[in-house]
Amino acid sequence: MGLPQRDTDYHTYGEYLSWPEDLRYELIDGVAYLMTPAPTLDHQDIVGEIYYQLRQALGDRRCRAYVSPVDVRLPKADEADEQIDTVVQPDVLVVCDATKTDRRGVRGAPDLAVEVLSPGTASHDQVRKLRVYERAGVREYWLVHPVDRVLTIYRLDQDGYGKPDVFELGGETPVAVLEGVVIRWDQLLERLSPVEP
């Protein structure tokens, strides 16, 4: 099941800024997708824990961690903000180039994007956003599967993402694009709802 589209029109970030704030959308190649209602507590716990660990590990480095909702504008060339047709909101992201941040959010590819999958967003995150992040140059893309307790990691090389690495959640996972940064899973896993058989 995919996310519902707002309509069949082509939209830009300029239009997006004028929409009511009570509904959240992402734009992918001009198509507006309505974000699902509030996620589960497990989803939010995972998002919060990843953000917390990243924030702590980064300390006073130039890289900064952010948590959704943050608009990430992904221009295809040098178009003005109002003409950008792809705007996403990763659950967690890290940006190491301060020139990419402004009062509206981020313009350009984050170094790390993390999506925690929900039933209503899984295909959106695993298919549409995967292509968008690869095209934009996101260096590392994590997909956390809370129910299956699996982590899928895509890393960018000269040919794109290629085959992902897939791990069971547990122990610790290094963030390849952030030297010395790891995410530790065990305490978080103890807090999550038990997996139903």
**C-beta of residue 94 within 8 angstroms of C-beta of residue 65:** yes
CATH number, span 38-191: 3.90.1570.10
Tens of pLDDT, residue by residue over 39-70, are: 788 899 999 999 999 999 999 899 999 999 99
CA dist 6 → 32, 56, 102, 154 (Å): 5, 38, 27, 29
- Of 155, 138, 139, 190, whose CA–CA distance to 169 is shortest? 190
Task: Quickly tell me which residue has 């313009």 as its tokens.
Answer: 107
Q: Which helix (H) or strand (E) element contains residue 95?
A: strand 92-95
Give this prediction's pTM: 0.93
Tens of pLDDT, residue by residue over 85-135, are: 999 999 999 999 999 999 999 999 999 999 999 877 888 889 899 999 999
- Of 64, 83, 75, whose CA–CA distance to 13 is shortest? 83
Compute how many other C-beta atoms are within 10 angstroms of the C-beta atom of residue 67: 19
Tokens of 30: 């001009």
**C-beta of residue 48 within 8 angstroms of C-beta of residue 67:** yes
Is pLDDT of 23 > 90? no
pLDDT over 90 percentage in the chain? 77
